[in-house]
């Protein structure tokens, strides 16, 4: 039973999102910022907290004795760039960590784990619409290669500099909302829960953007009976958008399928009927591309029923990923209610 009001949950999500989107954590480098921040936030909500060998943060909440185990996964990594070369002139050449296109990167600010800032531009001899990643460079203000080498090294990584904006209607925009929005929903659902009907393994996974690597190993280690991923999904509600039936602010989405998973039909149906029981509007997501941690979890061992609860997001992988706090609040309520209802254990 919810014990906070809707506006209290929204305020908590807003604060959690700002804290999480402000934390550093390109894929493989989650330990340099975001992992510790999430650990601090979930420590009071956990019966047990640990990191595994790849750096996944696993938060265990024990249920009734003999209860089935549910793995919940929200990835804490964000796309980033790795320094591949420092030029004699003091500029940085970079390689992407995750799905970043050049057009998303032009004239953006980035930050390194040590606080060094940079700006991305492209070779001026190359036209903007023809620029590829190899034509980009990061300008950190160094006078030459020697000075740049005192600030950063080859193999260091950077991410979009954090900058949170609130738009009208409860929209929140910041880099890394994919998937810190999922992390925030998971944290707030753990806070909301009173008596889970399952043993919960809430995983804040690593390296999702590089191919679901963290969830692959954590699902293997945890042997869950059921699994739910929490991630963002793109919308089709902007001018001349791709034809996707997802609208920001119209409620969380239940993934039917994407390029890497088909949600378990029984589990998705159970989520759908729980939502209608609670009067929470949900949208159905059918995505011809993309993938979430559910794809890794469902293929673990001999197979695990898995689904994805999605938070609609505009401008995915840009520096202005935009989500609705109202959608996130509904996702929190739906997830908490699902985890308090033993019915899904029959799947
Ligand atoms: Zn994601
Ligand atoms: Co992503």
- The dihedral sign for the CA sequence 153, 159, 160, 163: negative
Instruction: Report how far residue 299's alpha carbon sits from residue 169's, in angstroms, rounded to the nearest whole number.
Output: 39
Ligand 1 center to 255 CA (angstroms): 13
- Residue-wise pLDDT tens digits, 135-189: 999 999 999 999 999 999 999 999 999 999 999 999 999 999 999 999 999 999 9
Is 208 one of the annotated active-site residues of the chain?
yes
Q: What percent of the chain has pLDDT over 70?
A: 99
> Is there a contact between 84 and 97 (Cβ–Cβ < 8 Å)?
no
Residue numbers belonging to the annotated binding site for Zn(2+): 75, 178, 209, 231, 317
Q: What spacing in Å lies between the alpha carbon of 86 and ligand 1's midpoint?
A: 30
Helix (H, G, I), strand (E, B) or coil at 139: strand
The active-site residue, picked from 188, 192, 199, 208, is: 208
Q: Is a pLDDT exceeding 90 seen at residue 230?
A: yes
pLDDT > 60? residue 1: no
Query: pLDDT tens digit string along 251-274?
Result: 999 999 999 999 999 999 999 999
Domains in the chain (CATH in brackets) are 6-78+175-346 (3.40.630.10), 80-160 (2.40.30.40)
- From the CA of 316, how far away is ligand 2's center (Å)? 7
Of all ligands present, the nearest one to the C-alpha of 229 is 1
Q: Which ligand is nearest to the CA of 75?
A: 1
pLDDT of residue 3: 77
Residue 19 pLDDT level (bands cut at 50, 70, 90) = very high
Say yes or no to pLDDT of 2 above 70: no
How confident is the model over 63-86, as pLDDT tens digits?
Answer: 888 899 999 999 999 999 999 999
227 pLDDT higher than 90: yes
Distance 111 CA to ligand 2 centre (A): 19
What's residue 307's pLDDT? Answer: 98
Ligand with smallest separation from the Cα of 179: 1
If one counts every other C-beta atom within 10 angstroms of the C-beta of residue 277, the result is: 11
Q: Which residue has the tokens 């970043």?
A: 100
């Amino acid at each position: 039973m919810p014990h906070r009001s809707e506006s209290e949950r929204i305020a908590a999500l807003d604060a959690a999102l700002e804290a999480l989107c402000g934390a550093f954590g390109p894929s493989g480098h989650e330990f340099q910022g975001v992992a510790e921040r999430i650990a601090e936030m979930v420590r009071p909500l956990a019966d047990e907290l640990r990191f595994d060998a790849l750096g996944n943060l696993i938060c265990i909440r024990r249920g009734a004795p003999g209860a089935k185990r549910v793995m919940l996964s929200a990835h804490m990594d964000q796309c980033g760039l790795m320094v591949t070369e420092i030029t004699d002139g003091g500029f940085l050449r970079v390689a992407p960590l995750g799905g970043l296109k050049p057009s998303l990167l032009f004239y953006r600010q980035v930050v390194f784990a040590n606080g060094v800032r940079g700006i991305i531009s492209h070779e001026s001899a190359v036209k903007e619409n023809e620029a590829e990643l190899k034509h980009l460079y990061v300008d950190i203000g160094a006078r030459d290669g020697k000075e740049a080498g005192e600030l950063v090294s080859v193999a260091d990584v950077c991410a979009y500099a954090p900058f949170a904006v609130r738009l009208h209607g409860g929209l929140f925009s910041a880099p890394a909302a994919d998937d810190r929005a999922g992390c925030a929903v998971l944290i707030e659902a753990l806070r909301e829960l009173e008596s889970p009907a399952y043993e919960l393994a809430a995983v804040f996974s690593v390296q999702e953007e590089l191919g679901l690597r963290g969830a692959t190993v954590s699902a293997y280690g945890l042997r869950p009976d059921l699994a739910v991923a929490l991630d963002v999904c793109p919308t089709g509600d902007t001018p001349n958008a791709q034809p996707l039936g997802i609208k920001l602010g119209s409620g969380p989405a239940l993934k039917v399928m994407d390029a890497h998973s088909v949600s378990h039909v029984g589990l998705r149906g159970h989520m759908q009927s729980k939502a209608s029981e609670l009067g929470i509007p949900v949208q159905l997501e059918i995505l011809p591309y993309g993938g979430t941690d559910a794809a890794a979890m469902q293929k673990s061992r001999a197979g695990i029923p898995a689904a994805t609860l999605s938070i609609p997001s505009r401008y995915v992988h840009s520096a202005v990923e935009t989500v609705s706090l109202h959608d996130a609040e509904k996702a929190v309520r739906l997830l908490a209610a699902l985890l308090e209802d033993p019915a899904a254990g029959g799947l």
